[in-house]
Amino acid sequence: MTKGVIADGELPISLSEVELASHAAILHGRPESLQRDIDMVERQYWLENVINQIPDYIYAKDLEGRFLFANQAVVANNGLSHLADLVGRTDFDFLPRHVAETAADVERRVTETGLPHFGSEELAFRGGGERWLMFTRVPLRDASGTIVGVVGASRDITAQKSAERRMRSQSYLLEMIARGTPLADFLDELARMITGFSEDVHAALLTIRPNSGQLRMVAAPTLNEEYQRRVNGVSILPVTANLAMIEAALKLAFDQAGISELDHQCHCLPISDADGQIEGVLALYSSEASRSQPGFSDFVSIAVHMAGIAISRHRAEARIRFLADHDPLTGMANRALLDRKLTLAMQKADLRGGEVALAFLDLDNFKLVNDSLGHSVGDQLLKIVADRIYELIGDHGSLARIGGDEFVIILESMDIKSCLGLLSAIREAVARPIALHEIELRITCSIGVATYPSHGKSAGDLLASADMAMYRAKELGRDGIALFTAEMTATVRRKLSRTDELRQAILRDEFVLHYQPQVDVQTGRIIAAEALVRWNHPCEGLVFPDDFIALAEETGLIVPIGEWVLRTACSQARTWQEQGLGSIRISVNVSARQFQERRLIETVAAALNETGLDSSWLELEITESLIMKDLAGSIARMHELEKLGVKLAVDDFGTGYSSLSALKRFPLSRLKIDRSFIADIPHDADDMAITSAIISLAQKMGLEVVAEGVETEEQARFLVESGCKEAQGYLYSRPIEQERFSRMLESNGRDHP
């Protein structure tokens, strides 16, 4: 090192002789000249030692760029062992020419201008891998202040640089995600970044198809098509079982695709979503020759994390897009997509001159499955049915689910005969037994068909026509197919206007109750009254239940009508009691829809409460077929009513299919023999046999019996002889208005003491 040279800037590279001498004299008190020489040597040795311990690179060069001094870090970095081997040589002896020239230019500027050069970042060319240095160069001056060279110091900033690069990449990737860059483009960029971080490393990003567990090749910019073809579709179920299995499969594809002569190992990293669910895989291929830049493994961790975010986001967006057009339960098209597809099919038919068939399919009695077996069984059943229909439709058209148990099928380019053939096959497929939770279910469907352009010019009209035809199929006994006819429109219009009238009738209080007596067959004394509703229509006069109860049932209007009947009948029975006309049982009909209403129990309790009628005087008539539709539910409901103290009678007994064993489980008090058995007595021996059998059956089971529709004395006599105690029918009285019934009751006590 040159004696007495102080560099500009803050770092003194060497102390002046004067300074060293005076310090040394103070420290040791030796004769000044000797002491000065000894201390100089010591001091120089000490200083060099300190400089050599510093990991930064420190050197001094003369004006020709020749090394005057360098610390050990510089010596070693140039591949030398001793400083002496470096002194006198230049960068041109060690570095590529263009690099040495760049350094020489900077140093020349410093020596010529005398201005220091701070903080330039330069790539290092020795030491393996990519390394970055931060350089500072200051002029080297002699004691007179003349510039005699340059002093350089540099620091390894590789770690800092790679952290910066990671941060930049990360924010760029996040920006891509935020901008909604397509997943393939994002993963492609990510794979490029990974491979840009290393030499001879290949990266492939693959997603895993959620249902099939198959790999889907998304990005592998440095790998050939053969590799991508081999990897695409590889099944890796179960994903979590073994990552090594995936690695083995991907390594094989790599080797077979002939990408490199070297033996590349495959290392897979799972890409997971926020819940830890594996969504994809990053496959890294590296060999012995592969070299990565510092921070590579940190970047790979970030890349995997970013890929997880991007794939999750992509899947969430895809799901949202899917749900906008599809039914989440079955995965079939929803109403919105159906409308679009139908409109398109109609436009195509216009162009090509063909027809479009639209089938409206509704499951029969699906509500019963839902109510009795629960919604989860109902859902599974819907999925199975949807799959069966979908499979059969194949390429002939498309399927949509537009409501609880309502499906719509569009069939294109098929004549109506083939359409009906296909729909028949669908009907049969739906009816095939379905095994669910150890139960074997059977469900049928009703299908209505309408065609374009004959039965509707718009998607909405065509759907309405198919819907009407479906209702017709239901009316015809369900489990069938009906083709739309123009006459259906008139029927539906009538129905709609009748429904509207019924709704108005409820608001305007147009219903009245008539009462028909039930009598003791032996004495003729009135023991009960059946309340029968009539509609006092403003134009049509008195309308009988057969004309409106079914429609009220279908539209649900039976619920408010039934509530009114119940309250009015209870109130009337209570009034008769208060008027001293005697306590008689009041019988009220309850239809299927009313019986299924959850509110029924509350409604009955409220009617009794409001009117003050004792529950033992109220009897509800339910039909046999209603009970058999949902046996378990009906029994539970009956027990709840029994708890209220209300009596229960089975109406129309003998017309349904109730088994004796089932009957025993019902908390019943009375059977009403259907009037169809009574009508032909005494001419029909079979009916007589059935009637007497029902009577003796009821007696054995401790039930009362009422015979309905008794019109003649012979019928009454036969019933007495058969042991039936109560009867109802025109023989005794037709259903009559309340005033007349009250008068009948007045004489009831007198005539029958």
Summarize as ranges the residues that interact with ligand C2E (CB under 6 A): 516, 532-533, 544-546, 549, 558, 562, 565, 589, 591, 621, 651, 675, 709-711, 728-730, 735
Task: Give the C-alpha separation, 474 to 470, whole Å.
Answer: 6
Nearer to ligand C2E, 32 or 602 (CB): 602
Q: Does the bond joining 682 to the residue before it have cis omega, within 30 degrees of 0? A: yes
Nearer to ligand C2E, 70 or 590 (CB): 590
Helix crossing, 631-644 with 600-611: angle to 10°?
A: 20
Nearest distance in Å: CB 725, ligand C2E: 17
Name residue 631's beta-bridge partners: none
Amino acid at 691: T
Q: How far is CA 676 from CA 450, 632, 711, in A?
A: 39, 28, 12
Nearer to ligand C2E, 361 or 707 (CB): 707
Task: Give the C-alpha separation, 247 to 253, whole Å.
Answer: 10
Q: What angle do CA 90, 94, 98 make, to 5 degrees?
A: 85
Nearest distance in Å: CB 714, ligand C2E: 13
* DSSP 3-state of 398: strand
Nearer to ligand C2E, 188 or 553 (CB): 553
Name residue 673's beta-bridge partners: 653, 707
Task: Give the C-alpha separation, 744 to 741, whole Å.
Answer: 5
Phi, psi for 213 (deg, rounded to 5): 70, 20
Select from 519, 524, 544, 550 the least CA-distant residue to 532.
544
Nearer to ligand C2E, 40 or 592 (CB): 592
Nearer to ligand C2E, 78 or 715 (CB): 715
Q: How far is CA 630 from CA 302, 366, 625, 627, 658, in A?
A: 59, 12, 9, 6, 12
Nearest distance in Å: CB 574, ligand C2E: 18
Cβ–Cβ < 8 Å for 647, 619: yes
Three-class HEC string of 689-710:
HHHHHHHHHHHHCCCEEEECCC
Nearest distance in Å: CB 370, ligand C2E: 23
Tracing tokens 């004792």 back to the chain, one arrives at 614
Nearer to ligand C2E, 156 or 708 (CB): 708
Nearest distance in Å: CB 499, ligand C2E: 17
Nearest distance in Å: CB 676, ligand C2E: 10
Nearer to ligand C2E, 360 or 653 (CB): 653
Cβ–Cβ < 8 Å for 286, 267: yes
Nearer to ligand C2E, 295 or 517 (CB): 517
Helix crossing, 685-700 with 713-722: angle to 10°?
A: 40
- Going by their DSSP bridges, the two strands 445-452 and 481-483 should be labelled as parallel
- Radius of gyration from C-alpha coordinates of the chain: 49
Nearest distance in Å: CB 624, ligand C2E: 12
Nearest distance in Å: CB 436, ligand C2E: 34
Nearest distance in Å: CB 506, ligand C2E: 13
Nearest distance in Å: CB 680, ligand C2E: 12
HSE toward the beta carbon, residue 462, CA cutoff 13 A: 25
Nearer to ligand C2E, 111 or 591 (CB): 591
Nearer to ligand C2E, 228 or 712 (CB): 712
Nearest distance in Å: CB 652, ligand C2E: 6
**DSSP letters of 295-342?**
THHHHHHHHHHHHHHHHHHHHHHHHHHHHHHB-TTT--B-HHHHHHHH
Nearer to ligand C2E, 60 or 707 (CB): 707
Name residue 203's beta-bridge partners: 284
Nearest distance in Å: CB 530, ligand C2E: 6
Exposed e or buried b per residue across 196-224, where buried means at least 16 C-beta atoms within 10 angstroms of its C-beta: ebbebbbbbbbbbeeeeebbebbbbbbbe
The separation between the first and the last C-alpha atoms of the chain, rounded to the nearest angstrom, is 146
Cβ–Cβ < 8 Å for 601, 574: no
Name residue 58's beta-bridge partners: 153
Nearest distance in Å: CB 678, ligand C2E: 8
Nearer to ligand C2E, 46 or 544 (CB): 544
SS3 content of the chain, % helix, strand, coil (to 5): 50, 25, 25
HSE toward the beta carbon, residue 425, CA cutoff 13 A: 12
Nearest distance in Å: CB 553, ligand C2E: 8
Nearest distance in Å: CB 516, ligand C2E: 6
**Which helix (DSSP H) or strand (DSSP E) does residue 444 occupy?**
none
Nearest distance in Å: CB 735, ligand C2E: 5
- Going by their DSSP bridges, the two strands 147-156 and 131-141 should be labelled as antiparallel
- Going by their DSSP bridges, the two strands 618-623 and 585-589 should be labelled as parallel
**Cα 367 → chain centroid:** 23
Nearest distance in Å: CB 495, ligand C2E: 18
Nearer to ligand C2E, 122 or 553 (CB): 553
Q: How far is CA 232 from CA 208, 220, 223, 473, in A?
A: 10, 12, 13, 48
Tracing tokens 């390429």 back to the chain, one arrives at 395
Name residue 62's beta-bridge partners: 149
Nearer to ligand C2E, 230 or 534 (CB): 534
**DSSP letters of 146-165?**
-EEEEEEEEEE-HHHHHHHH
Nearer to ligand C2E, 45 or 544 (CB): 544
Tallying the residues shown for the chain, one arrives at: 753
Nearer to ligand C2E, 398 or 518 (CB): 518
Name residue 412's beta-bridge partners: 356
Nearest distance in Å: CB 382, ligand C2E: 31
Nearer to ligand C2E, 322 or 730 (CB): 730
